[in-house]
């Protein structure tokens, strides 16, 4: 009898974590490696947020918290949704988890039965299909195209929905492509969802504040209020507030679902870290002045990376509207021979040879369900990005 659970056979390790680990190992061996794999801002957590955490420690806020979060944070979350998204949620309709991953996992665990299908546009964040698989569901992938800026079309969504569909996972701005949907594009998708009343929407808004130019962020329920009773809107403090290590994600949705997620979390981890929750209260309620400044820095980095990659032989890099990723195609390098003499047959070959030859660590697109592409996180200094892109140009030029 096998000791490990059958569910593990359906799950792959996280490619983004694997790339970051590989880069760390090579650095430890003395290699000059630039790691562009991690989805993590290089900014420090703002001082007002850190000071709120210190004050919470000094007040003795070190005990277990309610499973769904401290009342002050749940109220701050409800206030945030009202203030920024025009959405009315009672604090009882909110839940706090140990990062966005736990929110998603709890939602799937609370709702998934064997045979249930989850529509996932590709490219997708690597954890979505693995979470669905662990919870016994079936991921249904819908490929997008670079010509359509990696966005799901209404026709493709409609075609993917079956009587077994339980959820659509919707991520805008997107990890890994940076694609963000305009209000009109969202309306076309929500019109399809109105026709399929059995389909719920799990919207991952983690990169909400990181949109560029004159782009305006909207979330599905904002565009179509009729979806209110079958949408879970997930967000968190990790990206916009540079709080990745604090591990706070949150969501709001129908009370019945929130209660079910609370029950699962109660048997799993209980409440998130008390100090991190108090820091998140300050993040949501306190000054937001640093967000526009950080956006300007990210936008400059984006423009630098897109420009330099499009000067690399065989690379085609669209300009994304949000997040801090680019998702260029390396189709022009497939079939070429790398400097080491290896024929590049896949995007995984491309990133492996790039790391070996030039010490630049990126993530292969097939890990996100769509290739031949690769993902670069530009959440690092312009100096490092310029050097990395120069190395990529050199590598591509050396491929024959």
CA dihedral 163, 167, 170, 176 (to 10 degrees): -100
Count of CB atoms situated within 10 Å of the CB of 190: 22
What's the CATH code, domain 6-44+290-395? 3.90.1150.10
Q: How many CA atoms lie within 13 A of 246 on its CB side?
A: 29
CA-CA distance, 117 to 97, in Å (whole number)? 24
Per-residue model confidence as pLDDT tens for the chain (400 residues): 889 988 888 787 777 777 778 788 888 888 899 999 888 999 999 999 999 999 999 999 999 999 999 999 999 999 999 999 999 999 999 999 999 999 999 999 999 999 999 999 999 999 999 999 999 999 999 999 999 999 999 999 999 999 999 999 999 999 999 999 999 999 999 999 999 999 999 999 999 999 999 999 999 999 999 999 999 999 999 999 999 999 999 999 999 999 999 999 999 999 999 999 999 999 999 999 999 999 999 999 999 999 999 999 999 999 999 999 999 999 999 999 999 999 999 999 999 999 999 999 999 999 999 999 999 999 999 999 999 999 999 999 999 9
- For the chain, which residues make up each domain, given as ranges? 6-44+290-395, 63-285
How confident is the model at residue 311, as a pLDDT? Answer: 98
CA-CA distance, 339 to 349, in Å (whole number)? 12
pTM, two decimals, is: 0.95
Count of CB atoms situated within 10 Å of the CB of 160: 19
CA-CA distance, 42 to 244, in Å (whole number)? 10
Query: How is domain 63-285 classified at the CATH fold level?
Result: 3.40.640
Return all residues near 372 (Cβ < 8 A) that are at least 6 apart. Answer: 329, 330, 331, 333, 334, 346, 347, 350, 365, 366
Q: Is 301 exposed, middle or buried (0-12, 13-18, 19+ CB in 10 A)?
A: buried
Name the H helices within the chain: 15-28, 47-59, 71-85, 100-111, 127-134, 154-160, 183-195, 220-223, 255-268, 274-285, 290-309, 347-358, 382-398
CA-CA distance, 389 to 272, in Å (whole number)? 39
């Amino acid at each position: 009898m096998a000791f490990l659970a059958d569910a593990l056979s359906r799950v792959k390790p996280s490619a983004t974590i694997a790339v970051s680990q590989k880069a760390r190992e090579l650095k430890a061996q003395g290699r000059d490696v630039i790691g562009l794999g991690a989805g993590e801002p290089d900014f420090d957590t703002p001082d007002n947020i850190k000071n709120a955490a210190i004050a919470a420690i000094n007040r003795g806020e070190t005990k277990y918290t309610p499973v769904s979060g401290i009342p002050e944070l749940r109220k701050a979350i409800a206030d945030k949704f009202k203030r920024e998204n025009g959405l009315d949620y009672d604090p009882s309709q909110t839940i706090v988890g140990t990062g966005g991953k736990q929110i998603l996992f709890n939602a799937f665990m609370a709702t998934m039965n064997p045979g249930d299908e989850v529509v996932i546009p590709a490219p997708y964040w690597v954890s979505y299909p693995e979470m669905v698989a662990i919870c016994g569901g079936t991921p249904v992938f819908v490929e997008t195209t670079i010509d359509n800026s990696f966005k799901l079309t209404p026709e493709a969504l409609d075609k993917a929905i079956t009587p077994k569909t339980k959820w659509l996972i919707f991520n805008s701005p997107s990890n890994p492509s940076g694609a963000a949907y305009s209000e009109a594009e969202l309306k076309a998708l929500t019109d399809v969802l109105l026709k399929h009343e059995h389909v719920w929407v799990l919207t991952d808004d983690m990169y909400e504040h990181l949109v560029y130019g004159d782009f305006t962020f909207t979330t599905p329920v904002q565009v179509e209020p009729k979806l209110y009773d079958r949408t879970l809107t997930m967000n968190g403090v990790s990206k916009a507030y540079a709080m990745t290590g604090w591990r706070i994600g949150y969501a709001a949705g129908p009370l019945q679902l929130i209660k079910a997620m609370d029950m699962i979390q109660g048997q799993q981890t209980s409440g998130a870290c008390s100090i991190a929750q108090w820091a998140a209260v300050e993040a949501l309620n306190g000054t937001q002045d640093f967000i526009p400044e950080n956006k300007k820095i990210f936008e400059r980095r984006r423009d630098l990376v897109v420009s330099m990659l499009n000067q690399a032989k065989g690379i085609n890099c669209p300009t994304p509207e949000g997040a801090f990723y680019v998702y260029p195609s390396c189709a022009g390098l497939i079939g070429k021979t790398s400097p080491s003499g290896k024929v590049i047959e896949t995007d995984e070959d491309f990133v492996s040879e790039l790391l070996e030859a030039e010490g630049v660590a990126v993530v292969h697109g097939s890990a996100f369900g769509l290739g031949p592409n690769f993902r670069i996180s530009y959440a690092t200094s312009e100096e490092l990005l310029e050097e990395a892109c120069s190395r990529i140009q050199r590598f591509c030029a050396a491929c024959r």
